[in-house]
Amino acid sequence: MNLMRRFMLALVVLLWGTTGFAQAPKATLEQARNGTASSPTSPVVFQTGNLGSSNSHYVEGMSAPYRLVLENISLGAHNVIIEWDIKNGGAHAIDYITHYDRLQPHNFSPPHAQEVVNPLNGLTGPFGGPSTFAIPAPSSAGSPVAGQPTADFNALPAGERNMTIWNGSISSLSYVNQGSLTAAQSASSISIDFTATSSTVVIAWGGHLASRLVWGDGNSAGGISGSPFHMRLLEFDGSGGNQDRSMQAAAVAPTPLADLSLVKSVSNPTPLAGSTVTFTIAVTNSGPDAATNVSVADVIPSGYTYVAGSIAGGTSRTAAAPNLTWTIASLANGATTNLTFQAVVNATGNYLNVAQVTASDQEDPDSTPNNENGAPYEDDEDDATVTPTPVADLSLLKSVDNPTANVGSTVTFTIAVTNNGPSTATNVSVGDVIPSGFTYVTGSIAGGTSRSDATAPTLTWTIASLANGASTNLTFQAVVNATGSYTNVAQVTASDQYDPDSTPNNENGAPYEDDEDDATVVPTAVADLSLVKTVNNPTANVGSTVTFTIAVTNNGPSTA
């Protein structure tokens, strides 16, 4: 090199270093690696290199994060075009683009929290913003699944359907090419118009990984043979900026899928009111994957009262009656587990008891957790109901107002009929056969809904309805006879409801059931004595003999 050339070169280097010749604009497309499932990387690291199973573990339905870093660009309007494979090797790769932050907690073993996604990581700011711009819905032609991928995209929350920019603002997003879903190999591309407010601009988005739940097994991002599939920068300000980032299918797990179903049953569909029944909730996983963190809930309706401490089954469980919940940590493909509890059947109330799956880590192909709103049920919901047999425990107490009444006096008998439930008693009949020691006082029968003394000494009452816990008094009066039987028995002779501890109309002497009772009078004898004294000759001569007669009469009623 001659002296002059050396000088010129030195001058150029000097000028470059001191006057700040503008550096060439530069665009860099990067994709994020999030580590392996057993050793996740958080925050994720943006890089230009390929994604494979050794550095990333995404799951279908999530979005892999991408960023475009633009440096040394002029302030004002710019344009870039990005492209992604919607089909690769005949399978679906990236359905559409989304917000950049759509990772989820990892539910397979080992589970871990959602990785942090920060598109500014490793970059030197300052960065203003960010601002977002809504991504237009995709409408790729020829979908074999009706409405896809538009339907899936539109089902995302609005906040997951936008593109993000720092140090600038996006003014339009429009598809250049939607691609064809019938082709074995196809891509979509979108044009991004934006205004830079700094020489460094970052744009971030996510690539939605096609799920087998939509496209079927072997047709989704995790099952592409001959992968990788790609995200590309096609153009930057109208010139070829072609950069290609690839992802191996091995970095993407198929969407985990567990078809949970639930069958509810009760130990006795026609129990006695007041009795205890056992409910069983059989939860089955029809796979194909293991189900984890399955939650099941049962809200006990008003027709039952939870038996404290009776909840059983599952890995853990809580009973805040009427709300019962279980968690099943893991349920293998094909496995069934039973969750149980006991409840007392109330006399009245709602007997329709529904249980449902409220949560699961995996997708369920035919049911949605926690959406139960009445029949028809999905397969992860079921009810059990009972038709209870009413039970009314009737009891009867008989008393007399004066147990040592005088013979001939009038006493009042009272028959107190009580319903100890739990059901309301209806059409309760009570009978009393007045024994020989008493004479019924005609017309004295009282109480009950209706009553009859037409066949006295047999008296009968009917009580149309007697509530749980209620008592009613039936009465009549009788005169105490001088002789006879003084033990007066009354009994329940009929009732519509089952009585758990007594049988109507079976009275045959003590010991009595609780629907029978007696009252006995020990009468005080009454003898109305009178005396008449007479003499045979009231005008007898002095010295003559007369005879006195004393007549004693007992006017009863007792023998004197």
Chain residues in the site for Ca ion (CB under 5 A): 259-260, 364, 366-368, 371, 378-381, 393-394, 499, 501-503, 506, 513-516
Nearer Cβ to Ca ion (352/552): 352
**CA 208/CA 101 separation, integer angstroms:** 11
Nearer to Ca ion, 235 or 381 (CB): 381
Task: Spell 397-413 as b/e; 16+ CB within 10 A means b.
Answer: ebebeeeebbbbebbbb
Query: 25 vs 70, 71, 231, CA distance in Å?
Result: 7, 6, 21
Q: How far apart are CA 467 and CA 337, in angstroms?
A: 42
286 alpha carbon, distance to own chain's centre: 21
Q: How far is the CB of 433 from Ca ion (least distance, A)?
A: 14
CB 365, min distance to Ca ion, A? 7
The distance of closest approach from Cβ of residue 263 to Ca ion in the complex, given in angstroms and rounded to an integer, is 12
Q: Rank residues 366 and 528 by Cβ distance to Ca ion and give the closer one.
A: 366
Give the integer Cα–Cα distance in Å for 420 and 435: 29
HSE value, Cβ hemisphere, 13 Å, CA-based, for 173: 24
DSSP-derived secondary structure for 420-467: EEESPEEEEEEEEE--TTEEE-TT--B-SSEEEEEETTEEEEEEEEE-
Residue keyed to tokens 């830079």: 196
Residue in the structure block whose two tokens are 């936008």: 162
Residue with Cβ nearer Ca ion (11 or 510): 510
Rounded least distance, CB 40 to Ca ion, Å = 29
CB of 518 to Ca ion, least distance (A): 13
User: Cα–Cα–Cα angle for 19, 24, 27, nearest 5°?
Assistant: 145
Angle (nearest 5°) at CA 512 between 509 and 516 = 100
Beta bridge partners of 317: 326
DSSP code string of 296-316: EEEE--TTEEE-TT--B-SSE
Question: From the CB of 505, what's the least distance to Ca ion, in Å?
Answer: 7
User: Rounded distance, CA 330 to CA 310, Å?
Assistant: 22
Is the bond preceding residue 25 a cis peptide, omega within 30 degrees? no
386, 271 in Cβ contact below 8 A?
yes
> 154 or 503, CB closer to Ca ion?
503
437: tokens are: 């020691």
| Cβ distance to Ca ion smaller for residue 217 or 501 | 501
Q: 234 vs 257, which CB is nearer to Ca ion?
A: 257
Which is nearer to Ca ion, 284 or 342 (by Cβ)? 284
Nearest distance in Å: CB 364, Ca ion: 4
Closest distance to Ca ion from the beta carbon of 383 (Å): 13
Q: CA-CA distance, 46 to 168, in Å (whole number)? A: 20
Our CB check for Ca ion shows the closer of 244 and 514 to be 514
Torsion of CA 24, 50, 68, 61, to 10 degrees: 170
The CB-of-222 to Ca ion minimum distance in angstroms stands at 22
Q: Which residue, 85 or 383, is less far from Ca ion as judged by CB?
A: 383
Residue holding tokens 């001939």? 408
> How near is the Cβ of 320 to Ca ion at its closest, in Å?
22
How many residues appear in the chain? 560
| Least distance to Ca ion, CB of residue 331, Å | 12
Q: Which residues lie closer than 8 Å to 238 by C-beta, 6 or more apart?
A: 79
Q: Between residues 152 and 381, which has the closer beta carbon with respect to Ca ion?
A: 381
Q: How far is the CB of 326 from Ca ion (least distance, A)?
A: 16
Residue 498 neighbours by CB under 8 Å, 6+ apart:
272, 389, 390, 391, 392
Is residue 510 classed exposed, middle or buried when 0-12, 13-18 and 19+ CB atoms within 10 A define those classes?
exposed
User: Between residues 259 and 361, which has the closer beta carbon with respect to Ca ion?
Assistant: 259
- When the beta carbons of 95 and 513 are compared against Ca ion, the nearer one is 513
Q: Using an 8 Å Cβ cutoff, are 500 and 429 in contact? A: no
Q: How far is the CB of 53 from Ca ion (least distance, A)?
A: 30
Strand partners, 395: 418
Please give the single-letter amino acid code of residue 152: D
